[in-house]
């Protein structure tokens, strides 16, 4: 079959890498792709957020199945356009994607099914929001309701920070995403990510992971899109996963179906674990980045069969065949990230590195320039390895990092510290 993947980051390189290993895949196109994806698939130029253009591209290229990587095309209704045109796709409708595209919507769903989460309130003007913060006190969490490229959540440890976040959001810093604001109680505990495939009805857990959001070692410094991840996350024990399935995931999926907006795709639950209890922090309606890279490393070719089963409503026939191992990915980012950074520096030494089912360098922000791989974003490479233990995966990943010649980039040297 001919498959199109939408997106061009490390997540999509990992998806493409897993899909290519499956003999069902005859032709793989990734739009826009990047320099790493270009080595294993065809890259195409396409406005991935315009459903009618994506449908037209699929018809012209006889695409049978589309995997939608990022949240923006999902929120824009690209899955709806594909389904209406009779093209199978992996990823939820725009209505169901509100589980990520509206924080208030997710909280309403949690309330409707009594799923454990932080107490919350929504505001569409700053005065009442400020009063609520003063009444509640800090620490407190302020969230722009809409999609804000991962920057719309402020965990305020003092009242002044929370009030400043209200000014920024209602002042237009996040555009329309900040027109409404959700304020939540601060939750203590350890955060981990839980990934569940859903076909509208059946839910199939496919793994756990933990990422490192802060730029600096010891989880210090500003937030980033993620500086590294590993899977499984030992903190999310089987008992806690069962609890999350019973109290949060299955009730959510049932409520979405009841409301006439069945959820299809991967449901990525950010969970807070505290004293043997899980609570929902947030949902995302796509794979995490870089969490996808470690999940794909562990799932391999079966990822395509599972995603097809989601699209075709036959997840009840599937099970996940896990290699009983661990995977870790280390993000190499351009110096200065997440602040100002330069693009265009050459990354050397990649050709000499292994590229197999245990060791892979997934490209995040790269492009080809006269045959050279050059940095083209903040997060540039995801150096990923599997091992019988997390320690072994880590040693393999850092051995590859050390073989990469890129003075203009950096990484954290402590990925996995919590689990190790
Ligand atoms: N790594 C966090 C995310 O993808 O949202």
In angstroms, what is the C-alpha Rg of the chain? 21
Specify the pLDDT at position 224: 92
Ligand 1 center to 288 CA (angstroms): 4
Q: What is the average pLDDT value for the chain, to the nearest integer?
A: 96
pLDDT at 149: 82
Mean pLDDT of 306-321: 97
Q: How confident is the model at residue 408 (pLDDT cuts 50, 70, 90)?
A: very high
For position 60, what pLDDT does the model report? 98
Ligand 1 pocket: which residues have CB below 6 Å? 150, 211, 225-226, 284, 288-289, 291
Distance, in Å, from the CA atom of 139 to the CA atom of 155, rounded to the nearest integer, reads 7
**pLDDT digits 0-9 by tens, 1-52:** 999 999 999 999 999 999 999 999 999 999 999 999 999 999 999 999 999 9
Give the tokens for residue 314: 């036959």
Q: Are strands 228-231 and 326-334 parallel, antiparallel or unpaired?
A: antiparallel
pLDDT at 404 over 90: yes
HSE-CB of 172 using CA atoms within 13 angstroms: 0
Centre of ligand 1 from the C-alpha of residue 222, in Å: 15
Residue range 380-387: mean pLDDT, rounded: 98
Q: Whose CA is nearest to atom 3 of ligand 1?
A: 288
pLDDT at 152: 86
Ligand 1 atom nearest the C-alpha of 226 is 1
Q: Write the CATH number of the domain with boundaries 326-410.
A: 3.90.600.10
pLDDT at 324 over 90: no
User: CA separation (Å) from 284 to 24, 41, 158, 265, 293?
Assistant: 28, 27, 27, 11, 16
Closest atom of ligand 1 relative to the 291 alpha carbon: 1
Residue pointed to by tokens 């302020």: 142
- The helix or strand, by DSSP H or E, that contains position 102, with its residue range, turns out to be none
DSSP 8-state assignment for residue 261: -
C-alpha span between 98 and 254 (Å, rounded): 15
The average pLDDT across 200-205 equals 98
Give the ligand 1 atom nearest the CA of 211: 1
pLDDT-based confidence at residue 172 (cuts at 50, 70, 90): confident
User: Tell me: the pLDDT tens digits for 76-101?
Assistant: 999 999 999 999 999 999 999 999 99
Q: Which pLDDT score, from 0 to 100, does residue 179 have?
A: 87
Ligand 1 atom 5, closest CA: 288
- Distance CA(172)–CA(131), nearest Å, equals 20
pLDDT at 178 over 90: no
- The architecture (CATH level 2) of 119-185 comes to 2-Layer Sandwich (3.30)
Q: What is the pLDDT of residue 129?
A: 96
154: phi then psi, degrees, rounded to nearest 5: -115, 115
CA distance linking residue 121 with residue 103, whole number of Å? 11
The answer to whether the bond into 29 is cis (omega within 30° of 0) is no
Q: State phi, psi for 251 to the nearest 5 degrees.
A: -60, -40
Q: What are the tokens at 274?
A: 């505290």
Tell how far the Cα of 191 is from the centroid of ligand 1, in angstroms: 12
Q: What is the pLDDT of residues 40-54, one digit of tens each?
A: 999 999 999 999 999
Tally of CA atoms within 13 A in the half-sphere of 130 that contains its CB: 11
For the beta carbon of residue 352, count every other beta carbon within 10 angstroms: 10
pLDDT above 70 coverage of the chain, percent: 100
pLDDT of residue 344: 97
Query: 118 is written with which tokens?
Result: 């932080």
Q: How far is CA 414 from the centre of its chain?
A: 21
What backbone phi and psi angles, to 5 degrees, belong to 221?
A: 85, -175
Tell me: the pLDDT tens digits for 273-294?
Answer: 999 999 999 999 999 999 999 9
What confidence score (pLDDT) does residue 151 get? 79
Q: What are the domain boundaries of the chain?
A: 2-96, 119-185, 326-410
Q: Is the pLDDT assigned to residue 210 strictly greater than 90?
A: yes
The 10s digit of each residue's pLDDT in 350-373 is 999 999 999 999 999 999 999 999
The structure tokens 């309606």 sit at 285
Spatial CA neighbour of 10 closest among 44, 42, 36: 36
| Helices and strands (H, E) in the chain, number of each type | 13, 22
pLDDT score recorded for residue 364? 97
Integer Cα distance of 404 and 2 in angstroms: 34
* Cα 367 from Cα 369, distance rounded (Å): 6
Q: Which of 74, 288, 338, 378 to mutate to test the pocket of ligand 1 (most atoms within 8 A of CB)?
A: 288
Atom 4 in ligand 1: residue holding the nearest Cα: 288
Q: What CATH number belongs to 2-96? A: 3.40.50.20
Backbone angles phi, psi at 52, to 5 degrees: -70, -35
């Amino acid at each position: 079959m001919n498959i199109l993947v939408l997106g061009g980051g490390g997540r999509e390189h990992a998806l493409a890498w897993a899909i290519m290993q499956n003999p069902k895949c005859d032709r793989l196109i990734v739009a826009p792709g990047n320099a790493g994806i270009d080595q294993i698939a065809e890259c195409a130029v396409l406005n991935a957020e315009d459903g009618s253009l994506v449908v037209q591209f699929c018809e012209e290229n006889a695409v049978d199945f589309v995997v939608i990587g990022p949240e923006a095309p999902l929120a824009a209704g690209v899955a709806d356009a594909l389904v209406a045109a009779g093209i199978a796709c992996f990823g939820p409708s725009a209505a169901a994607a509100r589980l990520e595209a509206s924080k208030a919507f997710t909280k309403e769903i949690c309330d409707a099914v009594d799923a454990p989460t932080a107490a919350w309130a929504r505001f569409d003007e700053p005065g009442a929001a400020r009063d609520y913060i003063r009444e509640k006190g800090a620490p407190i969490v302020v969230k722009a309701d809409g999609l804000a490229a991962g920057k719309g959540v402020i965990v305020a440890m003092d009242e002044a920070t929370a009030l400043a976040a209200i000014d920024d959001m209602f002042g237009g810093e996040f555009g329309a995403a900040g027109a409404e604001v959700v304020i939540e109680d601060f939750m203590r505990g350890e955060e981990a990510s839980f990934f569940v495939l859903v076909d509208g009805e059946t839910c199939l857990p496919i793994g756990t992971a933990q990422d490192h959001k802060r730029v600096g070692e010891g989880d210090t410094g500003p937030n980033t899109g993620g500086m590294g991840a590993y899977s499984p996350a030992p903190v999310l024990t089987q008992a806690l996963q069962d609890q999350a399935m019973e109290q949060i995931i299955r009730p959510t999926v049932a409520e979405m179906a009841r409301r006439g907006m069945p959820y299809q795709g991967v449901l990525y639950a950010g969970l807070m674990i505290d004293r043997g209890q899980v609570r929902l922090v947030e949902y995302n309606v796509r794979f995490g980045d870089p969490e996808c890279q470690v999940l794909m490393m562990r799932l391999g070719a079966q990822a395509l069969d599972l995603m097809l089963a989601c699209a075709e409503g036959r997840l009840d026939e599937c099970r996940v065949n896990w290699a009983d191992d661990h995977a870790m990915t280390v993000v190499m980012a351009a110096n200065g990230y997440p602040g100002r950074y330069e693009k265009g520096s050459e990354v050397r030494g990649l050709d000499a590195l292994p590229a197999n089912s245990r060791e892979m360098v997934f490209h995040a922000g790269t492009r080809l320039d006269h045959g050279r791989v050059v940095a083209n974003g903040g997060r540039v490479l995801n150096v990923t390895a599997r091992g019988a233990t997390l320690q072994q995966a880590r040693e393999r990943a850092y051995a590859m990092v050390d073989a990469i010649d890129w003075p203009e980039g950096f990484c954290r040297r402590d990925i996995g510290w919590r689990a190790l």
